[in-house]
Amino acid sequence: MDMSEYKDIFKAESEEHLQQLNESLLGLEQNPKEMEFINTMFRSAHTLKGMSATMGFGTIAELTHEMENLMDMIRKCQVAVNDSLIDILFECLDTLEALVDNVDSDEEVNISHLQATLAQAMDGTICAAESITDAAEDLAASQIEPDSSDEEMVLPEIDLSNEEKESIESAKEDGYNISSLKVVLDESCVLKSARSTLVLINISKLGQIIKCIPSETDLEDEKFDRDFTIIYSTKESDETIEEAIGKISEVKDIEITPLYICDSGEKEESSEEKKASSSAGESTSAVKRPDTVKSIQSVRVNIERLDNLMNLVGELIINKIRLNQLASDLNAKHLDESLANLDRLTNEIQTEVMESRMVPIDQIFSRFPRMVRDLAKSEGKQINLVIEGKEIELDRTVLDEIGDPLVHLLRNAVDHGIEPAEERTKAGKPEAGFVGLSASRQRNSVLIEVEDDGKGMDPEHLRDVAVKKGILSREEVDKLSDTEALNLIFYPGFSGAKVITDVSGRGVGMDAVKTKIEALGGSVKVSSVQGQGSSIKLQLPLTVAIIQSLMVKVAKETYAIPLANVVRDVGIKASEIKTIEGKEVIMLRGEVLPLLRLHDVLDSPYETEEKENLIVVVVERMGQNIGFVVDQLLGQQEVIIKTLDNKLLKNTKGFAGATILGDGSVALILDIATLI
């Protein structure tokens, strides 16, 4: 699965969590006993870990996991918050920031030193005064073998007199090597003074002893434990020195380290240089936090603010239409150029605002593989879920609403659509069932389809269930075609536990799916072939704020029919209308099309005599086409939806809202699902 297209989203959201971590850590530093800070940090780290694991950024996931462990111990009061621990967590955050910034890079970053330090913090072996840098240096120093490096070392604890320094400088000018020789005597040594004296005698033959730690007097008085150090100059090799000392009995260990001696200023400078060199050269070193402030590439805007912006754009478009109408009425051609520019600008603003509300449909689709996997496992079935079109974008408002319907459709497909493996094998199908979830862009709408290759639905069985549930009479269901019978699953009350058993679960809660989709201005179509599978298609508008509509006139009123519901418009002769059981129908393209006169549906007065030529708008409702007879077609228009959400009009059936036309008048938007 290619996740590269989501890197920008990952980076933007990760930066928010890292900012939250930084702020909470600062708060924790000021109030170490305030556990809410650590709880907030834990949640952010956990989210970041999950995001990075999903994206395949294992290093980030690994480091956040270690941080989680430490934070968990803090929450359980198993580790105390101190300056060292705060420094460690800040260092981890800096590293995480660098890792997030470089997710596009293939360069691997070694975080082993941070993991080691976090482990030390959890074990309680890191002291409060240590910084993470010190710890890293200690770790690095501990890994240096005494005889494996030719680099000179600084022993910061050596306090040299001026005379000793001059001896060293003189020896160096003469080509001597300066070394530190640490001798460790055996635990059973009872004559430590004698052994140390022998050591001094032997090495004095090979070079010049500059300093003893402890002093020679203390060595003679045995005022030392079992080890002592000698600073000396020599031209002999280490092996020669070791051989000379090794002859002495009861000497357990010899450690020779090349030594570089400098004054305090040089020492600090050298130390800093080594630190800088270590930081720059080792990928395992702590990441230095940059002092520069990164420019903000994206902002997160509350959806309510985007809704308000969309409403303002809608008002702007309405006023633009109004101005165009006035210019046309006044025949003011000199305004044409200005209005054309206004038209272009408003269209661009509308496009930008709508685009800013769009999010990839994958934000919903990505939830389903796990859900289907778990469901299939619990059912003992094998399911191949194939997802397509995840890059299609939808308005955030629409996207938020379709999650539950899709969950319902997919559960139905897995639970009741796909047969058990044995049944599929007997039917000559592969053991693993196919469930498809796809999205595609179709002009001004998005088509989402959930399909399976399961058992399909039996129309005759659905008819029986409808009669049994008292939804329709036997006479009524017998008149339904197989396609119409499939639409019985959308009737409220058709679902229920008993129905699940009787009809293999198809139709359970489908009325809720249909209601939700149609409330968004979309439509639902079902198709099924028994033994071959089923398909549910959801036609959704790109946005619920602005829709394409077919404007019609009935009596003196103008109405908007959402284009998603319109199949076609046709002109017919009044003489073509037939009557079947008291209801008007026409034959259109070989099919019987029921006719409804919008005058009657909307209770509008007839102002003229029956016309010979009639205009019919064919709309789709629950998989069935119906013809609306209207007085006049005004054409397609983009309308701004004003919802009827006040107390008086909130539950009004038949209308999805209202819009304002160019002349300032109000037109109602028909809701085909509830109109008839």
556 in the same domain as 523: no
Distance between CA atoms of residues 565 and 621, nearest Å: 7
Distance between CA atoms of residues 365 and 403, nearest Å: 9
What is the mean predicted confidence (pLDDT) over 391-407? 86
DSSP state letter for 610:
P
Q: Can you name the residues that pair with 541 across neighbouring β-strands?
A: 445
Tens digit of each residue's pLDDT (9 = 90 or more) over 233-277: 888 888 888 888 887 878 888 888 777 554 444 444 444 444 444
Amino acid present at 23: E
Cβ neighbors of 183 (< 8 A, separation 6 or more) are 196, 199, 227, 228, 229, 230, 245, 251, 253, 254, 255
Higher pLDDT pick, 450 / 343: 450
Distance between CA atoms of residues 586 and 595, nearest Å: 7
- Name the phi and psi angles at 456, rounded to 5: 75, -175
- Can you give the CATH number for the domain in which 44 is found? 1.20.120.160
DSSP string, 227-276: EEEEEEEESS-HHHHHHHHHTSTTEEEEEEEEB----HHHHHHHHHHHHH
199 in the same domain as 75: no
413 located within any domain: yes
How many domains is the chain partitioned into structurally? 4
What is the mean predicted confidence (pLDDT) over 579-596? 87
183 in the same domain as 114: no
Query: What's the Cα-to-Cα distance from 143 to each of 136, 139, 146, 334, 577, rounded to whole Å?
Result: 11, 6, 9, 85, 96
Residue 478, both tokens: 């017998």
230 in the same domain as 115: no
281 and 239 Cβ atoms separated by less than 8 Å: no
159 located within any domain: no
Q: How many CB atoms lie within 10 A of CB 171?
A: 19
- Name the phi and psi angles at 472, rounded to 5: -135, 160
Residue 366 has pLDDT above 90, yes or no: no
292 located within any domain: no
Q: Which of 43-57, 106-120, 312-326, 506-520 has the lowest mean pLDDT?
A: 506-520
Strands (E), 443-590: 445-452, 523-529, 533-541, 546-554, 557-562, 566-573, 578-580, 583-588
What is the mean predicted confidence (pLDDT) over 341-352? 88
Q: What is the set of active-site residues?
A: 46, 68, 412
Q: Is the peptide bond before 214 cis (omega within 30 degrees of 0)?
A: yes
- Can you give the CATH number for the domain in which 249 is found? 3.30.70.1110
CA 218 to chain centre: 68
Q: How many CB atoms lie within 10 A of CB 129?
A: 9
238 in the same domain as 193: yes
Query: What's the Cα-to-Cα distance from 68 to each of 29, 75, 125, rounded to whole Å?
Result: 17, 10, 19
The per-residue pLDDT for 148 is 37
CA 20 to chain centre: 17
527 in the same domain as 560: no
211 located within any domain: yes
Q: Hey, is 385 helix, strand or coil?
A: strand
94 in the same domain as 219: no
106 in the same domain as 33: yes
Query: What's the domain range around 518?
Result: 357-495+506-539
- Can you give the CATH number for the domain in which 448 is found? 3.30.565.10
622 located within any domain: yes
Query: What's the Cα-to-Cα distance from 418 to each of 77, 435, 460, 504, rounded to whole Å?
Result: 51, 8, 20, 10
204 in the same domain as 62: no
The per-residue pLDDT for 286 is 47
438 located within any domain: yes
What is the mean predicted confidence (pLDDT) over 207-232? 81
Candidates 407, 418, 412; CA nearest to 380 is: 418
What is the mean predicted confidence (pLDDT) over 55-64? 86
- Can you give the CATH number for the domain in which 595 is found? 2.40.50.180
What is the mean predicted confidence (pLDDT) over 107-131? 71
306 located within any domain: no
How many secondary structure helices (H) and strands (E) does the chain include? 24, 22
Strands (E), 581-644: 583-588, 591-597, 613-621, 624-630, 632-640
Tens digit of each residue's pLDDT (9 = 90 or more) over 311-321: 888 888 888 88
Residue with tokens 């990760």: 14
89 in the same domain as 14: yes
654 located within any domain: yes
The per-residue pLDDT for 580 is 86
Burial level of 308, CB count in 10 A (0-12/13-18/19+)?
exposed
Tens digit of each residue's pLDDT (9 = 90 or more) over 450-508: 999 998 888 888 888 888 888 888 888 888 888 888 888 888 767 544 444 333 444 44
491 in the same domain as 395: yes
The per-residue pLDDT for 627 is 93
414 and 379 Cβ atoms separated by less than 8 Å: yes
Distance between CA atoms of residues 658 and 549, nearest Å: 12
Mean pLDDT of the chain: 79
What is the mean predicted confidence (pLDDT) over 420-448? 88
Rama region for 343: left / alpha / beta (φ>0; ψ in -120 to 50; rest): alpha
Q: How many residues does the chain have?
A: 676
44 in the same domain as 4: yes
Distance between CA atoms of residues 557 and 562, nearest Å: 16
Using DSSP bridges, classify how beta strands 433-442 and 383-388 pair: parallel, antiparallel or unpaired. parallel
